[in-house]
Amino acid sequence: MPETLNDLLAALVRLDSTNPALVPGSAGERAIAHFVADWLAAHDIGAELDEASPGRLSVIATVKGTGGGRSLILNAHLDTVGTEGMPAPFEPVVRSGRMYGRGTYDMKSGLAACLMALLDAKAAGLRGDVILTAVADEEHASLGMQSVLRRVTADAAIVTEPTELCVSVAHKGFTWHEITTHGRAAHGSRPDLGVDAIAHMGRVLGQLEALAQELTTRQPHPLLGHGSLHASLISGGQELSSYPERCTLQVERRTLPGETPEATMQEIDALIVALAADPTFRAEHHLTLARDPFGIAQDAPIVQTLQAAATAVLGTSPAVIGQTFWMDSAFLAAAGIPTVVFGPRGAGAHATEEWVDLESLQQCRQILTATLRAFCA
């Protein structure tokens, strides 16, 4: 079993845990979940496997406290995105203080730091419990996090997604929408009979562009800026010589703390209602997926404790940031668990060259350990 942080990260990278929902037929989390559970068992820390759906395994492990202290979740995800274009994605390479390979940055480095911090918690004899949740499927539907939260709670949580050693207290959410315009199929030579569903979707696109522009005039979030909206996918028509009877558009709306799925639905419904003043215009709108934004007050105890620990290790106070992309922290917060995001430096999330800075990984482990020693004492 690997005993150093760098060796542990390398061992995790060698395990293909590509999310099968993103790349059909790929490995998934089974092998890496068993590795994590076995590694913990070798260090006398009991672990359970949680199977959110067939083969989609998460790991839950607890270092029990002596009693009377606050509990803390350390969270990381097991899955990665695909590896197309990467010559040797599962062969970790160390060069100039960086480790390269799929998952080094997003986020097996955070997982490795959590595992080592769990050993530190075991040695510290804390009053509060320290809980590891190493979850499946974060890169797709968060099946693992949602399943684990039916079994686990705590007084606070740290999600160890990469933050460049900054303290992240907010991120955007998103809603996905499907809009369908209906026309009337007819021969292309018969405009008197046909209704062009694609042209009608053009009217929708114009209104959506205006809404996207209007979002930039609203009060920005101090860390996240403005919400946004864009058209993502469009399809329609039957053949070149026919009026199209149907056109479907998929839209993504990125949301800020305080914005709800219901509000985003109402925004789009309102523009469709306005277009329906034309009796030939007919459209449907559905919400297909929603993920909440995340935010925590900067004076929350877990944020303050983490900041103090990071300042002591780094010699300077870390920046407080927000992040544009969505994370499982939103599910933890929605479950009533005060949550903060903190992880190492690096680059290449979802890219063909991915790396983590190994010095920052060591510092991340030290900061997690100092935080749990203070918070769970």
User: What does the domain layout of the chain look like in residue ranges?
Assistant: 5-171+293-375, 173-291
pLDDT at 223: 98
> Averaged over 11-20, what is the pLDDT?
98
> Averaged over 337-348, what is the pLDDT?
98
3 state SS of 326? coil
Q: Which is it for strands 320-323 and 167-171: parallel, antiparallel or unpaired?
A: parallel
pLDDT at 137: 97
Q: How confident is the model at residue 152 (pLDDT cuts 50, 70, 90)?
A: very high
Distance of CA 256 to the CA centre of its chain: 15
For 230, phi and psi rounded to 5 degrees?
-150, 150
Q: How many CB atoms lie within 10 A of CB 25?
A: 7
Residues in contact with 201: Cβ distance below 8 Å, sequence separation at least 6, in sequence order: 179, 181, 234, 236, 247, 249
Residue 267 tokens read as 């925004």
Residue 268 tokens read as 């789009």
Residues in contact with 293: Cβ distance below 8 Å, sequence separation at least 6, in sequence order: 170, 171, 172, 173, 224, 255, 256, 257, 258, 259, 330
Query: Rounded to the nearest 5 degrees, what angle is found at the Cα of 91, between the Cα atoms of 93 and 112?
Result: 75
- The pLDDT tens digits for 233-275 are 999 999 999 999 999 999 999 999 999 999 999 999 999 999 9
Please list the residues that pair with 158 across neighbouring strands.
Answer: 74, 340
DSSP for 286-319? EEEEEE--EE--TTSHHHHHHHHHHHHHHSSPPP
- The pLDDT tens digits for 211-228 are 999 999 999 999 999 999
What's the rounded Cα separation, in Å, for the pair 159 and 156? 10
CATH topology of domain 5-171+293-375: Aminopeptidase (3.40.630)
For the chain, the distance separating the N- and C-terminal CA atoms, rounded to the nearest angstrom, is 29
The CATH number corresponding to 173-291 among 3.30.420.10, 3.30.70.360, 3.30.420.40, 3.40.50.720 equals 3.30.70.360
- The pLDDT tens digits for 22-60 are 999 999 999 999 999 999 999 999 999 999 999 999 999
Residues in contact with 106: Cβ distance below 8 Å, sequence separation at least 6, in sequence order: 80, 81, 161, 162, 348, 349, 350, 354
With tokens 């018969």, the residue in question is 190
- The pLDDT tens digits for 278-315 are 999 999 999 999 999 999 999 999 999 999 999 999 99
pLDDT at 172: 98
Residue 333 tokens read as 């917060």
- Find, among 311, 314, 297, 327, the residue nearest to 156 by Cα: 297
Residue 84 tokens read as 């197309």
Q: For the chain, how big is the Rg over CA atoms in Å?
A: 24
With tokens 């160890």, the residue in question is 160
